[in-house]
Structure 1
Amino acid sequence: MELTRNLTDSASVAATATASTAQNTGSATATDITATDSATGSATGSVTSKASASGSSKASASGSKSGSGSSSAKHSTSYDARLPAGGISMMTPAATETSYYKIGEYITFGWNYTSLSATPTAINIMATCTENSQLYTISMNQTVSGTGSVVWDTGKYQSTAVQNPLLTETYTLIIYDAGSSISATAQAGYLSVFDSYTFGMYTPQPYVPLDQFVCATCSGALSSMERAALKMVLGMGLLTVLSFTWFVSGTGIIW
């Protein structure tokens, strides 16, 4: 009996130790798995978080750039919509005059600013010709003062213009805010695009003697031979009238 009890107790102790070891092993394994999953999850979450932060940052930067581009097309300060847009009043030459300029000479334009609530920092001055759809630069980023003026050296431009020379045509003067665009919509208080003044330019022609001149735009222009024939017809008509008068007077038909 004693031997049997000892054997039973030994078996019980061994079983308990085995169970305890298995339990500890299971706990360790579970702990390791949990730690591994936790580390993996943390790392994955960290990477995802970083990717998300990076994406948000890029999207934000992209949005900022887009917003910046959009806002640059508009003025930062808004004025009462009842106010007129700023404008330009031509002084030299007067807006009521149609001036013609010889290509190769200096052309002076002068103007006043009207209804400006916000004075532009600088302006661009251009000229355009509808005949060749060309835009000619007169001055860029010109500082704005009380009044405006510019001198265009057409001779200098023409001497270097190979592809788009100045033509004998009508031109339109264009003045606009350098911080805006040539096609900007007028806004209250700000300088609107000025494009209402037209002027003519022509290329000087060499001297031609009067008897060799032919009017290219005259529909009834006569050649030198036609002019000689006309002179002869007029001369013969005059001679006929004088001869008839002398004949009638000499024969006493008319007293």
Structure 2
Amino acid sequence: MRFIFLSVLCTVLLLGTISSAWPWRPYGILGGSLDKRADTTETSAAGTSEQKTAASTASETASSTTGGTTGTTTGTNTKTGTSTDTATGSETATGKTTGTNTKTGTSKTTATTSISIDPAAAAGGVSMITPASSSTTYYKIGQDVTFVWNYTSLSVTPSAVNVVASCSLNSQVYTLTSNMSVEQTGSVVWDTGKYKQTATIPLLTASYTLFIYDASKELGDTASAGYLSSQIGYSFGMYSPQPYTSLGSFECVTCNGALSATTRQALKFTCGMALITFASFTWFAGSAGVLAT
């Protein structure tokens, strides 16, 4: 029994010695079906060691090197009675120093002034100095015409004004000046002689109305309280000089009361018939004793 056991043991040892000394091919006898067992412990230890080394290296690099900063700051500062600031930024840190700092800003300041106007207040206007508004002044066409005025009840001063003269006889508007700057006392001189030389719309012997209104508005617009009104005008007259004509040959062309020759003859005939009728009635009444006392 002991002999059999020893025989088997020797056989196993012999086979083990032969197997370990045998020159195995790279893929083994079975053509790659038998692979060498991987050493898990050594591989894990090596991987852990490499990770620790990489982490240590990254830590040392991060501690010795300042992380790069990439940032964008956009600022907008707008002031309109109040101040508003808006900032937006982002930062990214890496192990290598790479930084970009960009700042873009826009600053704008706006001042707004407001005034309080009573809605029941009257609209602004002008007070004529020359000519006086108490009477109508007549100007000869071909001469300089001067107008001087002051502003009244004006809470909001317009940036510029227009000065025009309107004639109702031909429904035309003559521009004396436009976009005129506003001062406490305004004045304008109208050279009617120069205008007459190049005029496409002639000046007539008629009455005119002077208007001074805000250049940003239209003539005739309704003005709010405190704003310059364009609906109040000042009248003046203009006439063209005529050569001398005797009273007997003078004939008023523009007068509505002028009588023609036919009209004068008709009036003479009517007056004559009235006299004849009155005389006849008086004679008849006297003859009949009606008028006797």
Count of matched residue pairs: 147
Kindly state the Cα deviation for residue 212 of structure 1 after the two structures are TM-superposed.
4.2
Matched, 1:120 2:158: yes
TM (norm. structure 1) is 0.53
> Over alpha carbons, which structure has the higher Rg?
2
CA displacement, residues 73-124 of structure 1 (integer Å, 9 cap, x when unaligned): xxx9773202221111111111111011111111111111011111111100
**The one of 228, 232, 240 aligned to 1:195:** 232
Q: 1:136 to 1:77 in 2, by over 3 A?
A: farther
Distance 1:171 1:146 in 2: 25
CA RMSD of aligned residues (A): 2.3
Does the 8 A contact of 2:220 with 2:231 survive in 1?
no
More helix by share: 1
State the match for 2:117 in structure 1: 79
Distance 1:140 1:127 in 2: 12
State the match for 1:168 in structure 2: 205
Q: How does 1:14-163 map to 2 (within 5 A)?
A: 79-162=117-200
Distance 1:221 1:106 in 2: 37
Distance 1:192 1:183 in 2: 8
**The one of 246, 252, 258 aligned to 1:219:** 258
State the match for 1:183 in structure 2: 220
Distance 1:80 1:112 in 2: 22
Distance 1:112 1:194 in 2: 16
Kindly state the Cα deviation for residue 131 of structure 1 after the two structures are TM-superposed.
1.3
More strand by share: 2
Distance 1:185 1:108 in 2: 27
Kindly state the Cα deviation for residue 138 of structure 1 after the two structures are TM-superposed.
0.3
Gaps of 5+ in 1: 1-75, 223-255
Does the 8 A contact of 1:214 with 1:221 survive in 2?
no
Counterpart AA for 1:96: S
Counterpart AA for 2:211: I
Kindly state the Cα deviation for residue 194 of structure 1 after the two structures are TM-superposed.
4.6
Kindly state the Cα deviation for residue 188 of structure 1 after the two structures are TM-superposed.
1.1
- Identity among equivalent positions (%) equals 56
CA displacement, residues 217-236 of structure 1 (integer Å, 9 cap, x when unaligned): 463689xxxxxxxxxxxxxx
Does the 8 A contact of 2:163 with 2:176 survive in 1?
yes
Distance 1:83 1:208 in 2: 54
Gaps of 5+ in 2: 1-113, 262-293
